[in-house]
Each structure stands twice: as structure tokens, then as C-alpha cells.
Amino acid sequence: MPEGHLLHRHAREQRAALAGRVLRASSPQGRFDAAPYDGRVLAAVGAWGKNLLYDVADAPTLHVHLGMRGLFLRYEDTTATPPRGTRLWLAGDGAAFALIAPSRCEPLTPAGRTALLASLGPDPLRDGAARREEAVHRLLAARGAVGAAVVEQGVWAGLGNAWRAELLFLAGVDPARPVARLDAEEAGAIWDLAVELLPLGRDAGQVVSDPAAPDERWVYKREACRRCGAPVRVSRVGGRTAYTCPAEQR
């Protein structure tokens, strides 16, 4: 599933290409009613965790969640034929975007938007130091394993399996460790790493857990730890595959 850094990247790209412009909106696939958005001005595009919200003049908020298979394709030729299976086609005067296979593409009422945002925890790419105390509190209040808590969107918004593996490695925390055995200093250190590294991932379009070697990972989908060479342990934490260095993570 695309993680928060990629959603923020999509938001930034589409905001630059479409915001302030009249949209041509359609659903070539026929599974979404795009009429309320067609011919109207896009005011803003924002990302909250793994969610995209589009503010369009005189229309309901448009909510997109890519889920496991969703993706955007960009076209510089706005007269191009959308690919087969396009749920939503958004075009301005200089670029067009095809949304394919999202898990959610829906209008939201004001109450629905409020409920969605209320369900999400702090987003490292939106909130940074401003909500650090809340982020620490939410993590320490979670139940179960640390590795399950940090990918729970109501705890912290935007993290997925790849960021979990790399951030917990850098913090020296085993994903299977119970949250009850995590202290505030450790929780804050994990948040600080997310605030530092996710912007690098957004800018690069990939997970960047080592600025000196942006194409490398420490433990995620590796056979051996890149730091110490120990065999990476592969297990299940919170229903997802976890990658851990038994020598580096307590």
C-alpha cells in the first residue's frame, strides 16, 4: 500500500498542476459520478496520512484512498485517452491525472470530512514538532506491540510496513516489543525520526532511511542487516510482515 510520503507527493504534484484551474473531471470507468466536479475550480489538494482530500468550488470534498492497488498516472497531453479502468480523470490546462483502482473515491459531506480527520492520528509530514507531545501520548496509550501501534492510522497517520521497519530499526526498538515496555523518550525518538525522514521520502518518491545512501534500506526486505550483517529476522507483527535485526533492536 502506498505510504504517507507518496500521498503527500501526489498532493504536491497535483496542487502545482491543477490548483486554481478549472477542472475537466470524468469517470471513464463509469463507477464514480464526476459531474459535481467537472467545470469547477480546484481550490486545494491535501494529504492526511494515506488520504487525499480535494477542495473544489461549490462541490463536496472529494476523498481518495489508494488502498493496496491504487495509483495515479500523469499525462502532459490533456487530450489523451484515459487508460482502461480509470476511475477518475482530472485534467487542467497543462496536465491530467488518471486514478486507477483506488479503494475509495467518494464525495464527503462536511460531517464526513470532520469524522475522517478526527479518526487519524498526527501525520509526521503535516504536524511535525507541533503535535509531538500528542504523538507520544497516542503511541504510549496504544495496546499490543509497538510495531502494530505505529501503523495504526488512529495512532500515527501515514506510516506503513516499510517505514515501520526502517524507523524502528533506527530507534533500536524491536517491533514485537509491547508498548507497555516503551518509554516516552523512545516514543519521541521514533516520532522525531519520522519527522526527519518522511520529507526526504516525499521528495525522492521512495522510502529514504539513510540520507547518505537513499537507495538502501537497513532491514526492510533484506536478508542481512546493512549495519552489522546479522541475519534479518522475518516475523508477523500486527498481521503484517516485520523485518528486525536481532542484534540492533532491543
Q: Which residues are catalytic?
A: 2-3, 50, 240
Q: Of 124, 91, 103, 111, which is closest to residue 51 (Cα–Cα)?
A: 103
Q: What is the DSSP string of 213-241?
A: STT--SSTT-SB-TTT-PBPEEEEETTEE
Tell me the three cell numbers of residue 160.
506503513
Tell me if 6 sits within 8 A of 125, measured CB to CB.
Answer: no
CB burial class (10 A; 0-12, 13-18, 19+) of residue 40?
middle
Distance between CA atoms of 99 and 113, rounded to whole angstroms? 21
Centroid of chain to Cα 155: 14
Tell me the three cell numbers of residue 7.
500521498
Give how far Cα 91 sits from Cα of 33, 70, 103, Å. 16, 18, 21
Number of residues that this document lists for the chain: 250
Alpha carbons within 13 angstroms on the beta-carbon side of residue 219 total 31
Tell me if 192 sits within 8 A of 170, measured CB to CB.
Answer: no
